Amino acid sequence: MSEAELKLVTDAKNCTMYTIQFLSDDDSEFEKFYAKFRNELEYNEDFERLLNILGRIADFGALERFFRPEGKMNDRVCALPVLKSKLRLYCLRLSDKILILGNGGVKKTRTYDEDDTLKGYVITLQNFDRLMRAGVKDGTISVTENIIETDKTFDL
C-alpha cells in the first residue's frame, strides 16, 4: 500500500479538477501522464485533443458527454476522450463540477482489463473512489458543490 493525497490541479469557474499525489512520488498521477506524452510525436494529435477537452471541461463543467464510462457499475471511473483516440486518461467524475484526474496511457487492447498498466490506473481510481465514499460517510471528507475538503491521507 502507498499513501496518497488529493491535490488541486485547477479551480476553474465551472469545474474544480484534482489529481492523486502519492507521497512517495515527486509527480502527481496527472503530471506523470502529462510528462509521458507532452513530447511524444506519435501521439501528439491525441494528446492535444485531450488537453483541449480538459479546457472545455474547465469552461463548461465535467458534463457526462465528455466521458466514456469505464470501471464497474458501482464506481465513478470514466475515461477521456469519448472520440476515437489511441490515448486514454482515466478520471473520477464526482459531478458536473468536480473531476479527479488520474493517469493513463496508450490503448492497445480492446479493454483496459487486458492491459496491466491501464488496469492498474483504473484500479487505483476505483480504490480512491471507495475511500472517498467512506470518508464522506464518516465525515473526514466534505464535498460541496465544487470543492473537496479533507486533510486525509489515503492508503491505496
What integer best gives the mean pLDDT of the chain? 94
Contact by Cβ (8 Å): 132, 78: no
pLDDT band at 1 (very low <50, low <70, confident <90, very high): confident
pLDDT tens for 18-53 read: 999 999 999 999 999 999 999 999 999 999 999 999
**pLDDT of res. 53:** 96
pTM for this one?
A: 0.95
User: How confident is the model at residue 73, as a pLDDT?
Assistant: 82
* Widest CA span in the chain: 46
Q: How many CA atoms lie within 13 A of 152 on its CB side?
A: 19
Task: Tell me the mean pLDDT in the region 42-68.
Answer: 95
pLDDT, residue 71, reads 79
**What is the predicted pLDDT for the residue at 81?**
87
pLDDT tens digit sequence for 126-156: 999 999 999 999 999 999 999 999 998 999 8
With a cut of 90, say whether residue 116 has pLDDT above it.
yes
**Closest C-alpha to 98, from 150, 52, 140, 46:** 150
